[in-house]
Amino acid sequence: MRSSRKENAVQGAARRMVPLLTAALIVFAALRTADSGKLGLADENTSYRLLAIENGTAEQAFMAVLSLEDIDSEHIITGSPSEGGEQPDNGENPTPTPEDTAAPPESPDSNTPEPTIIPVPATQTPPPTEFTAPQNTAPGYPSADAVKKAISNVKFKSTVSEQVDWDNILTRKLTLPKVPADPVKEPLVLIIHTHASESYTQEPGYEYEESDPYRTQNQERNIVHIGDVLAEQLESYGIGVVHDATVHDYPSYIGAYTRSYETVRRNLEKYPSIQYVLDVHRDAGELPNGQQMKTIAEINGQKCAQIMFVNGSNISGLDYPNWRDNLRLSIELTAAGNLMYPTLMRTISVKQHRYNQHLRKQMAILEVGSAGNTMAECETAIWYFANVYAGLILSAGT
Closest-CA residue to 396 (of 361, 352, 353, 346): 361
CA atoms within 13 A on the CB side of 106: 32
Cis check: omega of the bond before 251, within 30 degrees of 0: yes
Nearest-5° Cα angle at 365, 309 to 304: 55
Gap between the Cα atoms of 333 and 142, Å rounded? 11
User: Strand pairing of 297-299 and 116-121?
Assistant: unpaired
Mean pLDDT along residues 251-275: 97
Per-residue pLDDT tens digits for 2-28: 754 333 333 444 444 433 333 343 333
CA distance 114 to 264: 35
Q: How far is CA 44 from CA 59, 90, 177, 182, 346, in A?
A: 35, 20, 36, 36, 36
> Looking at 19-33, 153-167, 293-307, which range is the least confident one?
19-33
- Residues sharing a CB contact under 8 Å with residue 148, sequence separation 6 or more, in sequence order: none
What is the pairing mode between strands 189-192 and 276-283? parallel
Separation CA 72–CA 44 (nearest Å): 43
Element (H, E) at 3: none
| Percent of the chain surpassing pLDDT 90 | 55
CA distance 340 to 334: 10
Decide if 378 contacts 199 (C-beta within 8 A): no
Q: Is 259 exposed, middle or buried (CB count within 10 Å of its CB: 0-12, 13-18, 19+)? A: buried
- Compute φ and ψ for 210, nearest 5 degrees: -80, 135
- Rounded (to 5) percent helix, strand, coil in the chain: 30, 15, 50
- Amino acid present at 359: L
Cα–Cα distance, 282 to 262 (Å, whole number)? 21
The β-bridge partners of 276 are 189
Report the C-alpha gap between 217 and 274 in whole angstroms: 27
Q: Which one-letter DSSP state was computed for residue 113? A: P
Distance CA 116, CA 344 (A): 16
Report whether pLDDT(194) > 70.
yes
Give the pairing type, strands 210-212 and 215-216.
Answer: antiparallel
Taking each helix axis as running N to C, give the angle between helix 223-236 and helix 375-394, from 0 to 180 degrees, rounded to the nearest 10: 40
Q: Is 58 helix (H, G, I), strand (E, B) or coil?
A: coil
Q: What would the mean pLDDT of 93-107 be, rounded to a whole number?
A: 34
pLDDT, position 25: 35
pLDDT per residue over 56-78, tens digit each? Answer: 223 222 222 222 222 222 334 44
- What is the sign of the dihedral through the CA atoms of 341, 346, 347 and 349? negative
Average pLDDT, whole number, for the chain?
74
With cut-offs at 50, 70 and 90, classify the pLDDT of residue 138.
low
**The pLDDT of residue 165:** 85
Instruction: Tell me how far the alpha carbon of residue 118 is from its chain's centroid.
Output: 24
The least confident of 42-51, 81-90, 172-181 is 42-51
One-letter amino acid for residue 256 of the chain: A
Helical residues (DSSP H) of the chain, grouped into ranges: 9-17, 22-35, 98-101, 144-150, 166-170, 223-236, 256-270, 323-340, 375-394
Residue 29 phi, psi dihedral angles, 5° rounding: -65, -45
pLDDT given for residue 168 in this prediction: 87
Identity of residue 219? Q
Angstrom distance (rounded) from CA 329 to CA 173 = 10
User: Of 96 and 329, which is predicted with more confidence?
Assistant: 329
Strand-pair partners of 367: 281, 308
